[in-house]
Each structure stands twice: as structure tokens, then as C-alpha cells.
Amino acid sequence: MTTSPSPDLARLADPAVRPDPYELLRTLREASPYTDPASGIVVVGRRSDCEAVLRSPKVSSDRQGSGVTTVPQMPNLMNLDAPDHTRLRRLAGKAFKPRLIQQWRPRIEEIVRELLTDIAAAGNTTDIVSAFAYPLPVRVICEMLGVPREDHAVFETWARSIAYTVDPQLVPGELSTEVVREVEVARAGFVDYFGRLIADRKRAPRADILSELISAEEQGDQLTERELIITCILLLVAGHETTANLILNGILGLLRHPEQLRLLRERPELAGAAVEEVLRHDAPAQMVTRIAREPFTIGDVRVTPGTPILVLLAAANRDPEVHRDPDTFDITRGDPGHLGFAAGPHFCLGSVLARLEGGIALDAFARAFVGPRLESGGLHYRPHVAVRGPDRLRVSFEAIRLDAVPAAGAVAGSGVRGE
């Protein structure tokens, strides 16, 4: 298993690799499992190894002080272990029941229509990032949490600053004090804001996720004020850039494979399958990290407590042992599940919402955009390694056909899926 010399893990952090990391991910997967000599990180990229690590009770999600986190973390769902994680997940899960999430379908469709209307009014060219893919999840999660419209912009800025905290540190070194300061400012802003919003909702509950979180109760146990605030921040941050990248990677995949775009236009019932294929083929969350808390062996690598482990979800999703012809983008493939939302106890809490938003957005893109084309020089990527996606996706088009997009509430739910 261990090859010599090992592929250069630090290359993942190279911005030049960002547009297409898949050749590097293939070499990392094929060499894995192995220990990266420069960082001491154990790299796993084969599907079976990734799944084994994600489901193992011998690993921890508490990365504090491990060297793979960039900035101090607040104790939230993503970095807690059982039993604290189990308790928090049960309570937060009550606000994220598929039935509650599906009720948002008409409102999400309405927001999509509003965004398309603005795009149509602005001419025959648009930046999908700023005009469509980013505003959609921010508006949706802000409305779900009950954040008024006039505050969405500041929320987006704070959420982007905190997005740094989910990137693993692949190259030893410090983050600039400027970035750490930005994260601190964003956190302080969120804590203050959500503190006030929670006090408001306690006085006057509404039909939103925040009120559900406040009232969530199990055997007399409820989320404390601090847990509520931290969970709200996590929901906003975890569901924002990832969902935007799902939409962006999906639209890019459709533009690069016009026959798949045609197929989706002809068979809109494939929208859900298209979302699954994007999550597999061009995963918005490319990797997650864990820390070994007990000794174990993976392949011929002996992992000792305290060792950081890099789980390459995006490499596992193209493992030829599991997916036939894995580099091909095919919205009809219907393969066994991918690891786009990870697996095990930390399986994405927002997967139902992400699938719902992604399906509505890709369906609307296929129906509404007439003759869409990626503009030359119109694609550029953000520097983030783990949550990877474009920060510019300029598309020109002949027309926007709003009449081809079903009115809000006209489409029945396309089935609810969990892990």
C-alpha cells in the first residue's frame, strides 16, 4: 500500500491545482493509506478506508491543538464526539426533520424565480456565483433562522470569514493574524446577533428553524443559550458555501457536458439524480479530518493516538472499485451512494436541505437558460481546499425563459433521502 516516494500532499494547497485536483487526488488515493512524511498526516482516499475511518469509534472530530485546524474552534456538532455529540445531534435533528425541511420547497422555488428575474433584467450575461449560487442558500438559511432581509449581507460576509475555519492545514505554518482577526470579528458579530434573535424568539416563537431549535426537547433536556448560538452559526456556515458550490459545480458540469444539460431539460425528473452525480463527481466538500484517539491499523499503516487523518471524500467518490468509469459525469448513473455528505455519526445534518436546494436550482437552470455558454476566462476558483468551488462563473445566454420554470409550489416533492 505505502508507495515510495509518497505523493506530495501539500500540492493540494497549491492554487494552481484548484481548478482540477482530480489527477492529484487519484495519485493520493492510489498511494493511500499512507503517512505523509512532511506533516505526519495519515492520508486515506480509498472508498472502503474512508468509510471505515468515518464510522470508527477510534477517531475523534475534536481537532483542537492537533495541527490540522487553522483557528480555535467553538465546541459545535462538527467537532464534538459522543456522548456530547449524540446529545446535541438529537436535539438539533429535531429542527431538521425532512418533513419540516420539505415545507420550504415553495419558498425556495420563489427565491430562485426572484433571482432569475433579476438575472434576466440585467442583460445576456451573468456571474452565476454572485447572482444565483451564493444568494440562494444564504437567503434560504437566513429565512429559516428568521434573520431579516436587511441583515443577510452582513451575515454572508461573516459566514465567508468563518469558512476559513473548516479548511485543514496541509502545510505547517500560521494563518495570517489578519485572517484570524477576521474570524474573531465574524464570531463576535454572530454571537451578539443570535443572542438577541434568540431572546426575541423565546418571547414570541415563529414558524422557523430557530423556534424549533429553541423548543427542541428530549427527556427534559434542551439546548442551552450558548449551544443555540453556536448551532445557529454552524448551520449558516456549514450550509452556505457548500450548497453554493453544489449549485456551481452542477452548473459547470452541465455547461461542460451539453448532452447532460439536454437530458436534464428533457427529463426534469432527473434533477435529484443530477444532484447526486455532482456530489459524487465534483464534491463540494472535498475532504474532512479526524484525529486518532485509540491505536488502530488501516492497510499497513499503524495509526497512533493523536495522529491526524485526512479523509479524501472527493477521491473516494471516484474510486473505480465502487464507481464504474468514475471520471465520467453521467446524471443517469444511479451508482451506490457517494461520500459527498460523509458518513457515520457526523453525516451532514443539512443533506435534505442541500438536496432540495440543489435540485430546484439545477432544474431551474436547465429550464430557464436558453443557449448558456461559459465565457472565456469566466471561471476562477476560491483558494479554499476542503470546501472547493468557484468564486467566478460567468455565463452568457440568449434568453431567460421564466415561463419554463414551474410556479412555486407546482412541483411535488421529489422524495426525501437521508444517509
Positions in the binding site for ligand HEM (CB under 6 A): 61, 77-78, 89, 141, 234-235, 238-239, 242-243, 246, 284-285, 288, 340-342, 346, 348-350, 353-354
Q: How far is the CB of 174 from ligand HEM (least distance, A)?
A: 23
d(CA 333, CA 167): 31
Tell me whether residue 111 or residue 354 sits nearer to ligand HEM (CB atom). 354
No. of helices (H) and no. of strands (E), the chain: 16, 14
Tell me whether residue 32 or residue 351 sits nearer to ligand HEM (CB atom). 351
Tell me whether residue 110 or residue 259 sits nearer to ligand HEM (CB atom). 110
Tell me whether residue 170 or residue 342 sits nearer to ligand HEM (CB atom). 342
Q: How far is the CB of 61 from ligand HEM (least distance, A)?
A: 6
Q: How far is the CB of 145 from ligand HEM (least distance, A)?
A: 9
Q: How far is the CB of 141 from ligand HEM (least distance, A)?
A: 5
Which DSSP symbol is given to 294?
A: S
Task: Evaluate the omega torsion of the peptide bond into residue 383 and state whether it is cis, within 30 degrees of 0.
Answer: no
Tell me whether residue 331 or residue 400 sits nearer to ligand HEM (CB atom). 331
Question: Taking the mean position of all CA atoms in its chain, how far away is CA 31?
Answer: 26
Q: How far is the CB of 353 from ligand HEM (least distance, A)?
A: 4
395 beta partners: 126, 374
Please name the residues in contact with 324: beta carbons below 8 A apart, sequence gap of 6 or more. Answer: 333, 335
Find out whether 89 and 77 touch, Cβ atoms under 8 Å.
yes
Tell me whether residue 233 or residue 322 sits nearer to ligand HEM (CB atom). 233
Q: How far is the CB of 401 from ligand HEM (least distance, A)?
A: 26
Q: What is the DSSP string of 158-217?
A: HHHHHGGGGS---SSSPPPHHHHHHHHHHHHHHHHHHHHHHHHHHHS--SSHHHHHHH-E
- Helix (H) or strand (E) holding 377, with range, is strand 373-381
Tell me whether residue 242 or residue 414 sits nearer to ligand HEM (CB atom). 242
d(CA 348, CA 54): 12
Q: How far is the CB of 254 from ligand HEM (least distance, A)?
A: 16
